[in-house]
Amino acid sequence: MLKIRLTRTGKHAQPSFRVVLQEHTSAAKGKFIEALGYYKPADKPKVLKVEAERIKYWISVGAKPSDTVAVLLKKDGFEGMDKYIEPRNKKRKSKKDKGETAAPVAA
């Protein structure tokens, strides 16, 4: 399965990322099929530059964007990215919650 995801480039403490098309089993810094753009979160304002036509093409033939890429593309104005974004409202149960739910048994 093909994935559209980020691969990190740039110097220490100056992150920049390439938006690339890779096989999902490839290493994140491994070989990629096509470079589709870049993302620079260190710049003010943050810069996302992608080839929109190529991304639309690859999604139409079955490539899936990663969660992070889908969020960035949605902010950039791409339609239909909601189905690739995982829900962010997962509640974690703490140890305190588990202890409070059990009522002591009276003898």
Give pLDDT tens digits for 22-60.
Answer: 999 989 888 999 999 999 999 999 999 999 999 999 999
What is the value of pTM for the model shown?
0.77
Give pLDDT tens digits for 59-95.
Answer: 999 999 999 999 999 999 988 888 998 888 767 666 6
Domain assignment present for residue 105? The answer is no
Domain assignment present for residue 10? The answer is yes
Nearest to 32 by CA among 57, 55, 60, 4: 4
Range of the structural domain that residue 49 is part of: 2-87
Domain assignment present for residue 37? The answer is yes
In terms of DSSP H, where are the helices of the chain?
A: 52-60, 67-76, 95-101
